[in-house]
Structure 1
Amino acid sequence: MIENMDPQMDPCEDFFEYACGNYLKTKNIPDEKSSISQFSDVSDVLQEKLRTLVESEDSSEDTPSSLMVKQLYKSCMNTERIAEQGLQPLKDILREMGGWPAVEGFAWDRNRFDWVQNVYINRRLGYSVDLLFDFSITTNIKNSSWRIIDIDQPSLGMPSREYLLRGLNDSDVRAYLDYQVSLAALLGANRTAAELELTESLLFEIQLANFSLPKEQRRNATKLYNKMTVAELQGRVPNIPWLSYINTILSPFTTVTEREEVIVNVPSYIENLGKLLLRTDKSYLSEDARDLQLVYSKKITGTGKRKPRWKECMGAVSGSLSYAVGKLYAEKFFKKDAKAAADEMVSYIRAEFDKILRTVDWMDDETRIRAINKSLAITPHIAYPEELLDETKLTELYKDLQISDGELLSNMRNLTIFGTDYSFKRLREKVDKNDWKKHGAAAVVNAFYSPLENSIQFPAGILQGTFFNADRPKYLNYGAIGFVIGHEITHGFDDMGRQFDYKGDLKEWWKPETRAKFIDKSKCIIYQYGNYTEPEVGLKLNGVNTQGENIADNGGIKEAYYAYNQYVSDHGEENPLPALGLTAKQLFWLSAANVWCGKYRPETLKLRILTGAHSPARFRVNGPLSNLPEFSRDWNCKSSSKMNPSHKCSVW
């Protein structure tokens, strides 16, 4: 913390520069990274620890789940085998999927191609089925004890629809097209012919982007909850065989009838897609290849080098076998005393949020009581569930998954099939909100709020390093992980979380006049952040897309501060760190800001502003702190200073 700060900066003018100025000056972003942060620094340490485990020799102490982790990692690290195969696996995939018109040219048989059949092939072989629309089994948000079929607009090839809507003359869109053309050429296509073919394909994708709903319009969960039967969906989009499509995708686990209810998030997207398919040509629907991807990635994120192979593989293993990896981490590295200390902090911070709910002057009594009941019903999940350490449960979970240390592609296909089967087979099962697997990814440096569970989760991975240490002064912990804890609690009451009740169901539980006051207070946050300009790239933030995270930041730091004051009231004052000449309260604020020290490449910063739900680090510090009178009081900031503006925003 001390080495990150720049004491020459005025904390009342720019607290982010004061807390993180030296971090910005001295830390360099490695070539393989698009950004660095305290989160990524702690995650790097965690990955190094895991690496020592997965690269260790097999022994009699290895369990079935730990052996599976090692085998997947070995198959990923076997670069000789991957290089030996070259582009052949990719060519085989394309052949299995019906060929790629850009490569096969006139040899491609359009009469034999059917995109619906292509999706069925993908499902069977272990590839994505979400080509033209997203198909999933999700929790029914109006009855969160049960699941339902969900149909939504898909993720497109670029980071967001806004990129594609710039059109073919945009340099980022050209880079995306060039990537596809170069890949086709690498696979043997005539480059000129491939460019013509893929330009038409890209125009089709731009059409899909036009049909899709922007993020700003996806914050109202009720607007996205459009329930209809399969028969009704068939009537609205008649040229897609919905009943046979759904039954084939869900086979062999479930069969549905035309009376089955589904959620269609954006009906206009599906209807427009149906019309587009009627008039669209069917053809639209190795290391060398990885190098091409890197060229495109550099244009979008600024990253000009791949990660070390072991980091790529460790990331793939951690994401694919998160429970097995979480068990390894929890057993070998997690300090058990951290859980009790974190439990205590969560209790203190929750109590402060409840006090805020009881005292805010803009809520009517009926809504206030419901809000308090929701807050009291929040379930905390800290570190990891005890079931994670039970090898018999992991063995049962992974019993149908085949992993070897040989073929990486085969392993990844098996993992996709395993994950898809696991999701699809549960359509008729009641949701268990306390299922240990929902909170079993322990080796993660992040934290979560789930509106459908009304729960908060702080995995073992974040209870360390910059964020938390049970042996250091409480003002440092309350400033760091306390900020994060408060942030997640407040998510239950931000513009999206507030739409769900104490059980996790989408329900209007706010009185109209109180809802109007909340929206008005949220607008203050929207305008405040929407008027911030990131100096490095000259872009204004998107106040609408970031409002949920900004509301959570503003409420979270306030709750953590009040909770620390209550802790001091209960246990007595703590001694400040002698080296800095700062008070304990000032060190609380410094620790809070230190959490967000980070740097981005300009391309990534631009990407984050255009597509992200979070504000850049600078504004996650200066925004909330400038809204809190307590900050200005503790730092003796004059009323004319930037960190103590006369107009302040406050939701919670």
Structure 2
Amino acid sequence: MRKRNVSKSSSVMPFGNDPPDYVHLRSNESQMQLIAINENGDPQTPSGSPCFNSSSARDDPPAVLFIPGKGTARWWKSRTTLERFLLPAFLLLFLLSIVLLAVIINSDRRREVKEQGTQVDFLPLMDQSTSTEPATTSTSTSTTTTSTTTEKPKDEICTTPGCVMAANHFLNAMNTTVDPCTDFFEFACGQWNEQHPIPDDMFSYGTFAYAREQVRQQLRVLLEQAIVSESRSINMARDTYKSCMNKTELDELKTEPLFESLKDLGNWPLLDESWDKKNFNLTDLLIKARRDYAVDVFFQHYVYADSKNTSRNTLFVDQGSLALGRGSKDYYLNGTLFASHMAAYRKYLRGIANVLKSDHNLTRNDQSINEDITKIIEFETEFAKLVVAEDERRNSTRQYNKRTLSSLYELMPHVDWVDFFRKIAPSDMIYFFNNDTEVIIGEIEFMQKMSQLIEKTDSRVLANYVIWRVVQSNVRYLDERFDDLKQDFLKVMTGQQQTPPRWKDCAQVPSTILPLAAGAIYVQAHFEENDRHEALQMITHLRNSFTELVKQNDWMDEKTKEVAIEKANSMINNIGYPDVTKNLKELDEQYEELDISVKDTYYEIMKKSVIWIQSKDFRKLTKPFDKHEFDVSSAVVNAFYSPEKNSITFPAGILQPPFFSGKFPKAVNYGAMGAVIGHEITHGFDDQGSQYDKDGNLHNWWSDSSLQAFDKRRRCIVEQYGNYTVPKTSFKVNGKLTQGENIADNGGVKEAFEAYKKYVAENGEEPRLPGLQQYSNEQIFFVSYAHFWCGKKKDAAAMQQVLTDEHSPEVFRVIGVLSNMPEFAKIYNCPKNAPVNPDHKCIVW
């Protein structure tokens, strides 16, 4: 997916309980994630792609309602709490006993073979690739026994710790009562989903969330250590965590820090009877909101690579986002379906206003406050009508409009643009901004329409709305009363039942403001160098696999194939951690202008961080674009592709069980992590990544015939996923919005499978997993892939995902991909036109 508000890149999953709003993922950065919703319920969604914006892409074909198998769900729900506890424990002991028994029997059989000189052949229960013909009989005499056949040796079973660990993951996840050709998601994940209810402090839970929570817990332990590091930045990371956790100080301060901010902003008309519109200046208000609190409102800006000349950085201005997050416009515009959501939003705003009013003994009457709140929401609803939907923002060329600052005055004259940038940039960069300064504008028409809306809106409403956005962004740094208000809001928006323990959010904060330092703490304690080497080898094999797929396809001409292969081979690899992580002196140099003290309040730390991050970004305008920058924390459970860098990034946080381990069999690693690596490689060739060349420049390198053939295959993916109806809802997946991730999913698994087959051809068949020896390693490959996406979410969160997220629901990331793979159908011996083996298949790569 795309990273918000800075530049462009794609990924696998969310950061977890979401970074503060000022740490924005860039608008073109792709992440392979389940659903990434920030504090505002904002999924981090993408933008840009070739000329594939036809509104008819999802029309006409009938909906396909896919309902995952229930297994024993109804029986399970009727069990008592004690039975629910004891039965899984009994089942686990039973399965472990089977594994141990299998190992003992295997050992005894081998001893028997050795003693008697005979061979014993055991046929796997579900291995469709193994012959089931009866063995040839043997003859014997009264004195000797001589075999007249050359019997096949039985499959070896792996009993290493890595194999046992992987087998345990799968044994506790699979529902083998379900036909894999009917519902492979339930087959691979049914037991996991039944036995792992969504925690009350989350709106979704799955194997990805499990890994994320594990990393967060590891970070918590490391950040709470009462030690002083040689590294100043690592000490600042620990101080940030401790300040965030200091509830006593937060309770003492209450809303005083925020109230000081309101004074600085000229007071909030919503609460201030004496507010005078004569003193209102929109530019000044927008300057303070952005400079001191990193809040963009009517437009957003960021510094990143010039998409058509990625050797240099430049300034971007794009459409603003709504308070409920990008992609949330339907909440405002569909009053019938989302009335309860908007009522919860209104209640949340009113609740915050009430706390501020009470803390500071303000006297504005409730009726006047309610009237102002109504006008704020009415204004934002008009704002929502102007926002360009994310599925219409996939054409990067359309959004590349190079202009100068002087042209912004024509589009939105209510802002003094030169003054705006001079006052939010570092003081020594004032010279950089004038009427001739270059800027790339994303949405020209939006800027014009937004200007018209500002023109006809009363200044009191504008001031109320801008300050509300600042308040909304900053209440998370205050006492727990605001956590309670947010929880009531999130319960409606996502279904989350209770506020997470404070440490969960606080453990994530250092990774957002000091990502390299937090990553260094994590890597030193929890990352093995052998795993980095293993991942690099897999990347090489996956890249070779993609190259072979390109060579073998029949829809690209030879010249375009050559360019595609060159681009794949030019991808930059970022694995585990940046080198600076291991050099404390260089690490501290990255943060030499940031001064965080243990004496600072949490609110003060966040303000300092905002100013430092903005200053750092603006200074990039004076430097070349760094394509090798590893700019995310190593403690992040995610993976990324950046089109401008043509780079793939796999932080240490995702290179861990149950997805990856140097001790796992290759079938397990290639099925899970290999598919992630292939996913990120394929992002370079999805509907958006395909617009950029090997150097990251926005440039059409396709021949006309190849581009038309690609477009035909891309549309097949759009229609396939657009016909899936999400269980328990009436919503269809937005095939147009999710097409990039779906193309990456399909290509990634195919590349990983081809790479695994090549590994076996070169190194021989691996031993089978204990307790699962009835399944071939190729079958386990697909179980491992599906296991990556085990999980479920609350109904409200599922609805939110369909509306706002560029990633398909988990079930379709499994079913959709495998439905397009003839290899899967062959390995599981699926009958023709079975649910996971339809006649019609969509294949891009």
- Give the TM-score category using the shorter length: over 0.9
How far apart in 2 are the matches of 1:586 and 1:637?
A: 12
Q: 1:265, CA displacement in angstroms?
A: 0.5
Q: State the partner residue of 2:275.
A: 108
Q: State the partner residue of 2:121.
A: none
Alignment counterpart, residue 725 of structure 2, candidates 508, 533, 543: 533
3-state DSSP of counterpart to 1:102: coil
How far apart in 1 are the matches of 2:454 and 2:289?
A: 19
Report if the CA contact (8 A) 1:330-1:460 is conserved: yes
Alignment counterpart, residue 416 of structure 2, candidates 223, 231, 241: 241
How far apart in 2 are the matches of 1:194 and 1:271?
A: 31
Q: State the partner residue of 2:248.
A: 80
1:428-454 alpha-carbon deviations (Å, 9 max, x no partner): 21112123x43x521111111110111
Q: 1:9, CA displacement in angstroms?
A: 0.6
Which consecutive unaligned segments of at least 5 residues does structure 1 have?
Answer: none
Structure 2 length normalisation: TM-score?
0.75
1:263 maps to 2:429 = no
Report if the CA contact (8 A) 2:422-2:433 is conserved: yes
Q: State the partner residue of 1:71.
A: 239
**Aligned in 2, Cα 1:548/1:253: closer, same or farther, shift over 3 Å?**
farther
How far apart in 1 are the matches of 2:414 and 2:246?
A: 45
Alignment counterpart, residue 639 of structure 2, candidates 439, 447, 455: 447
Q: State the partner residue of 1:226.
A: 401
Alignment of 1:513-532 (within 5 A): 513-532=705-724
**Which of the pair has the greater relative contact order for Cα pairs under 8 Å at 6+ separation?**
2
Report if the CA contact (8 A) 2:303-2:617 is conserved: yes
Q: State the partner residue of 2:544.
A: 351
* Equivalent AA in structure 2 for residue 412 of structure 1: M
Report if the CA contact (8 A) 2:201-2:498 is conserved: yes
How far apart in 1 are the matches of 2:564 and 2:709?
A: 15
How far apart in 2 are the matches of 1:578 and 1:419?
A: 50
1:572-593 alpha-carbon deviations (Å, 9 max, x no partner): 1111114121011101111111
Q: 1:253, CA displacement in angstroms?
A: 3.8
1:58 maps to 2:235 = no
Q: State the partner residue of 1:289.
A: 482
Structure with max Cα Rg: 2
Q: 1:167, CA displacement in angstroms?
A: 4.4
1:568 maps to 2:740 = no
Alignment of 1:48-197 (within 5 A): 48-59=217-228, 61-104=229-272, 106-124=273-291, 126-159=292-325, 160-167=328-335, 170-188=339-357, 189-197=364-372
1:198-222 alpha-carbon deviations (Å, 9 max, x no partner): 1111121122211111011100001
How far apart in 1 are the matches of 2:335 and 2:445?
A: 22
* Equivalent AA in structure 2 for residue 522 of structure 1: R
* Equivalent AA in structure 2 for residue 458 of structure 1: F
Alignment of 1:432-581 (within 5 A): 432-435=626-629, 437-438=630-631, 441-580=633-772, 581=774
Which consecutive unaligned segments of at least 5 residues does structure 2 have?
Answer: 1-169, 358-363, 463-478
Q: State the partner residue of 1:405.
A: 598
3-state DSSP of counterpart to 1:57: coil
1:595-626 alpha-carbon deviations (Å, 9 max, x no partner): 10011011111111110011111000010011
Report if the CA contact (8 A) 1:377-1:454 is conserved: yes
3-state DSSP of counterpart to 1:135: strand
1:204 maps to 2:379 = yes
* Equivalent AA in structure 2 for residue 256 of structure 1: F
How far apart in 2 are the matches of 1:167 and 1:583?
A: 52
* Equivalent AA in structure 1 for residue 171 of structure 2: I
Q: 1:370, CA displacement in angstroms?
A: 1.1
Name whichever of 605-614 and 83-92 sits farther off: 83-92
How far apart in 1 are the matches of 2:413 and 2:745?
A: 46
1:331 maps to 2:524 = yes
Q: State the partner residue of 1:424.
A: 618
**Aligned in 2, Cα 1:92/1:304: closer, same or farther, shift over 3 Å?**
farther
How far apart in 1 are the matches of 2:261 and 2:425?
A: 22
The root-mean-square deviation of aligned C-alpha atoms, in Å, is 1.5
1:612 maps to 2:805 = yes
How far apart in 2 are the matches of 1:288 and 1:569?
A: 61
How far apart in 1 are the matches of 2:780 and 2:484?
A: 46
How far apart in 1 are the matches of 2:295 and 2:816?
A: 41
* Equivalent AA in structure 1 for residue 249 of structure 2: R
**Aligned in 2, Cα 1:142/1:253: closer, same or farther, shift over 3 Å?**
farther
Structure 1 length normalisation: TM-score?
0.97
Report if the CA contact (8 A) 1:487-1:553 is conserved: yes
How far apart in 2 are the matches of 1:474 and 1:62?
A: 39
Alignment counterpart, residue 633 of structure 1, candidates 823, 826, 831: 826
Q: State the partner residue of 2:450.
A: 273
How far apart in 2 are the matches of 1:339 and 1:273?
A: 48
3-state DSSP of counterpart to 1:280: coil
Name whichever of 185-194 and 263-272 sits farther off: 185-194
1:351-389 alpha-carbon deviations (Å, 9 max, x no partner): 010011111101122211111111111111111122221
Report if the CA contact (8 A) 1:66-1:328 is conserved: yes
1:321-362 alpha-carbon deviations (Å, 9 max, x no partner): 111010111111101111111111111111010011111101
Q: State the partner residue of 2:29.
A: none
Q: 1:112, CA displacement in angstroms?
A: 0.9
Q: 1:163, CA displacement in angstroms?
A: 1.5
Q: Percent identity?
A: 38
* Equivalent AA in structure 1 for residue 626 of structure 2: D
Q: State the partner residue of 2:74.
A: none
Q: State the partner residue of 2:172.
A: 3
Report if the CA contact (8 A) 2:572-2:628 is conserved: no
Report if the CA contact (8 A) 2:182-2:835 is conserved: yes
How far apart in 2 are the matches of 1:616 and 1:467?
A: 19
How far apart in 2 are the matches of 1:338 and 1:251?
A: 41
Residue-pair matches, total: 647
1:149-188 alpha-carbon deviations (Å, 9 max, x no partner): 1111112111312212224972212211221122212222
Q: 1:239, CA displacement in angstroms?
A: 3.2
How far apart in 2 are the matches of 1:230 and 1:120?
A: 16
How far apart in 1 are the matches of 2:443 and 2:347?
A: 31
* Equivalent AA in structure 2 for residue 277 of structure 1: I
Q: 1:51, CA displacement in angstroms?
A: 1.6
Q: 1:102, CA displacement in angstroms?
A: 1.2
Alignment counterpart, residue 321 of structure 1, candidates 514, 521, 532: 514
How far apart in 1 are the matches of 2:491 and 2:268?
A: 26
1:18 maps to 2:183 = no
Q: 1:496, CA displacement in angstroms?
A: 0.3
Report if the CA contact (8 A) 1:145-1:431 is conserved: yes
How far apart in 2 are the matches of 1:509 and 1:218?
A: 21
* Equivalent AA in structure 2 for residue 75 of structure 1: S
Q: 1:83, CA displacement in angstroms?
A: 0.6
How far apart in 2 are the matches of 1:132 and 1:512?
A: 38
Report if the CA contact (8 A) 1:86-1:287 is conserved: no
**Aligned in 2, Cα 1:167/1:243: closer, same or farther, shift over 3 Å?**
farther
Alignment counterpart, residue 500 of structure 2, candidates 307, 315, 323: 307
3-state DSSP of counterpart to 1:136: strand
3-state DSSP of counterpart to 2:838: coil
Report if the CA contact (8 A) 2:304-2:625 is conserved: no
